[in-house]
C-alpha cells in the first residue's frame, strides 16, 4: 500500500465529483463520492457512497457505508425518479431543480474521530457527532450524540464511550486540530494511555 501523504490517496476505480479532500486522506476502491468534504486523516474503505456529506478529521469509515441515502417522494402518485430526473427520459423535459435543492439542504455531518461500521447507512440531515461509533449494518435515522455508540435498525444508543466529564474534556482538547508533528510527538501516549491519563498529561 502506498504511503499516505499530504496529497490524498484515491484508488483509480473511485469516482469523485465536486469533492474536497484533506491531508492524509484515503478513498478506497469502488467508492462514489459527490459534493462531499473529507477532513484530514479520514478514510473511506471499499465501495462507500457519499452525497452531500461533511466528514470531519480522523473519521474511520468501513467498507460499504452509505452517507446520505436519499428518500423517494412518498407523497406523490409515484415513487419513481422519472418525476424529478425527467430529462433522463424525455428530450423536452428538465430535471426538477427545486427537488434537488431541497435534498441538498439535508446534508449529513460526520464528526471528528468517528467510526462507522461496515455496511452502515446514515440518512439525510443526520449528524454523527465527534467520537461517536456506529455499529455494522446500522441505519442511523436521527442524530448521534458525542462519544456515543449506536447500533441496530433503526440505530439506538448502546452506551457512552466515556463518562460525561471525560467526553467534555476530550472535545475541549480537540486533539484532532493538532499539527502533524505534535501528533507524532504524542503517538506513544495515544497508544498506551487511557483517555483519562491522556487528558491529564496533555492538558484537557
Q: What pLDDT is stored for residue 204 in this prediction?
A: 61
Q: Which residue shows C-alpha cell 417522494?
A: 73
Q: What pLDDT is stored for residue 1 in this prediction?
A: 66
**Average pLDDT in the 163-170 region?**
97
| d(C-alpha 147, C-alpha 127), whole Å | 13
| d(C-alpha 199, C-alpha 38), whole Å | 27
| Cβ–Cβ under 8 Å, residues 43 and 28 | yes
- How open is the CA angle 149-143-15, to the nearest 5 degrees? 90
Q: What pLDDT is stored for residue 100 in this prediction?
A: 87
| d(C-alpha 129, C-alpha 114), whole Å | 8
**Average pLDDT in the 144-152 region?**
98
| d(C-alpha 10, C-alpha 95), whole Å | 31
**Average pLDDT in the 153-165 region?**
97
Q: What is the pLDDT of residues 6-46, one digit of tens each?
A: 999 999 999 999 999 999 999 999 999 999 999 999 999 99
Q: Is the pLDDT of residue 57 over 70?
A: yes
| Cβ–Cβ under 8 Å, residues 175 and 199 | no
| d(C-alpha 97, C-alpha 183), whole Å | 44
Pick the CATH number of 9-68+106-161 from 3.30.300.30, 1.10.645.10, 3.40.50.970, 2.160.10.10: 2.160.10.10
Q: What are phi and psi of 100, to 5 degrees?
A: -70, -35
Q: How confident is the model at residue 178 (pLDDT cuts 50, 70, 90)?
A: very high
The tally of CA atoms less than 13 A away on the side-chain side of residue 187 is 5
Which of 100, 96, 43, 45 has its CA nearest to residue 68?
100
Q: Is the pLDDT of residue 71 over 90?
A: no
Would you kindly state where each structural domain of the chain is located, as residue ranges?
Answer: 9-68+106-161, 162-204
- 177 dihedral zone (left: phi>0; alpha: psi -120 to 50; beta): alpha
Q: Taking the complete model, does pTM exceed 0.85, yes or no?
A: yes
Q: What is the pLDDT of residues 185-194, one digit of tens each?
A: 999 999 999 9
Amino acid at each position: 500500500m502506498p504511503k499516505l501523504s499530504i496529497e490524498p490517496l484515491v484508488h483509480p476505480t473511485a469516482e469523485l465529483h465536486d469533492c474536497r479532500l484533506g491531508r492524509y486522506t484515503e478513498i478506497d476502491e469502488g467508492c462514489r463520492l459527490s459534493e462531499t468534504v473529507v477532513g484530514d486523516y479520514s478514510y473511506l474503505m471499499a465501495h462507500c457512497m457519499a452525497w452531500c456529506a461533511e466528514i470531519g478529521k480522523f473519521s474511520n469509515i468501513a467498507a460499504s457505508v452509505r452517507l446520505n441515502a436519499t428518500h423517494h417522494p412518498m407523497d406523490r402518485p409515484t415513487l419513481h425518479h422519472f418525476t424529478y430526473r425527467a430529462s433522463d427520459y424525455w428530450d423536452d423535459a428538465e430535471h426538477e431543480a427545486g427537488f434537488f435543492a431541497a435534498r441538498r439542504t439535508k446534508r449529513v455531518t460526520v464528526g471528528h474521530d468517528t467510526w462507522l461500521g461496515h455496511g452502515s447507512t446514515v440518512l439525510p440531515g443526520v449528524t454523527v457527532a465527534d467520537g461517536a461509533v456506529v455499529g455494522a449494518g446500522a441505519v442511523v435515522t436521527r442524530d448521534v450524540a458525542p462519544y456515543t455508540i449506536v447500533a441496530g435498525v433503526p440505530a439506538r444508543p448502546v452506551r457512552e464511550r466515556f463518562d460525561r466529564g471525560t467526553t467534555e474534556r476530550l472535545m475541549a482538547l480537540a486533539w484532532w486540530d493538532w499539527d502533524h508533528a505534535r501528533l507524532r510527538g504524542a503517538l506513544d501516549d495515544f497508544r498506551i494511555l487511557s483517555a483519562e491519563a491522556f487528558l491529564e498529561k496533555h492538558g484537557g
